[in-house]
Amino acid sequence: MSNNLNTKEMKDLISSQTASSMTQEEQPMAEVMTLQEILDVYGSELEGSPSIYCGTYHKYTCGSIFGAWLDLTKFSDFEEFMDVCRQLHADEEDPELMFQDYECFPSSLYSESCMDKDTFDKIQEYASLGDKEQEAFDDYLDLGHDFDIRHFREAYCGEWDSEEAFGQHIIDECYDIERTMGGLSRFFDYSAFAEELFMWDYQMGANNHVFRVL
């Protein structure tokens, strides 16, 4: 039996060696998306979608604010977002990303110089809320609570015209004061009762959403 390779075996060997060499040394770089391609796929219309404007510190220092508004809900994960940001600024060898502005997500999640996976995931979680629930969650955060949607939903008591209106709701739900007080019930001080409730057990945000203190 001959030890020489036949023509087909030789072609297969050369093909295998060439592929291995490209993998190790000469593998072509992934194609970089153009600005228009990035805008077509990830661009933001700024109409209620959590978005961020991505430039770089180098460009800003040189007097350029070149960048793009990106809709954070259009990315499958944080890694895809960062990859697109770097492609946007592929003219720089190692772009130092600068997030120059933001829209439609809590200010507590915004940082000009930093976006990490945890923050990105929280913004996408916020985006999954309906408009009214976002408004209530904004109140919750403004009252000093941590970003915790499960805790927010456990604490939420609805939207009320005033603290006194909520106090009257509690009385109506929990106490039959007409039965216990008779005609004297009309003298009940709902305002004082509400003041006591909101001193210790409840909070109301700027948009009139009420939360239990858990």
Distance CA(39)–CA(37), nearest Å, equals: 5
Residue 2 lies in a domain: no
Cβ neighbourhood burial of 149 (10 Å; 0-12, 13-18, 19+)? middle
Looking at the fold, whether 148 and 69 belong to one and the same domain comes out as no
Q: End of a domain among 95, 128, 161? A: 128
Looking at the fold, whether 171 and 146 belong to one and the same domain comes out as yes
Q: End of a domain among 128, 163, 180? A: 128
Total domains, the chain: 2
Residue 4 lies in a domain: no
| Contact present, 47 and 71 (Cβ < 8 Å) | no
In this prediction, residue 31 carries a pLDDT of 83
Q: Is 108 left (phi over 0), alpha (psi -120 to 50) or beta?
A: alpha
Cβ neighbourhood burial of 14 (10 Å; 0-12, 13-18, 19+)? exposed
Looking at the fold, whether 72 and 157 belong to one and the same domain comes out as no
Residue 135 lies in a domain: no
In this prediction, residue 13 carries a pLDDT of 41
* Residues 6 or more apart whose Cβ sits within 8 Å of residue 135: 207, 209
Looking at the fold, whether 64 and 111 belong to one and the same domain comes out as yes
What is the maximal distance between C-alpha atoms in the chain?
Answer: 115
The beta strands (E) that lie in 88-155 are given as 97-103
Q: Which two tokens stand for residue 184?
A: 């004297």
Looking at the fold, whether 109 and 189 belong to one and the same domain comes out as no
How would you write the pLDDT of the chain (214 residues) with one tens digit per residue? Answer: 444 545 455 445 434 444 444 444 444 446 889 999 999 999 999 888 999 999 999 999 999 999 999 999 999 999 999 999 999 999 999 999 999 999 999 999 999 998 999 999 999 999 999 999 999 999 999 999 999 999 999 999 999 999 999 998 988 876 766 655 555 556 578 889 899 999 999 999 999 999 999 8
Domain membership of residue 195 as a residue range: 142-212
Q: Which amino acid is at 23?
A: T
| Contact present, 115 and 99 (Cβ < 8 Å) | yes
Residue 76 lies in a domain: yes
Q: End of a domain among 99, 128, 157? A: 128
In this prediction, residue 17 carries a pLDDT of 46
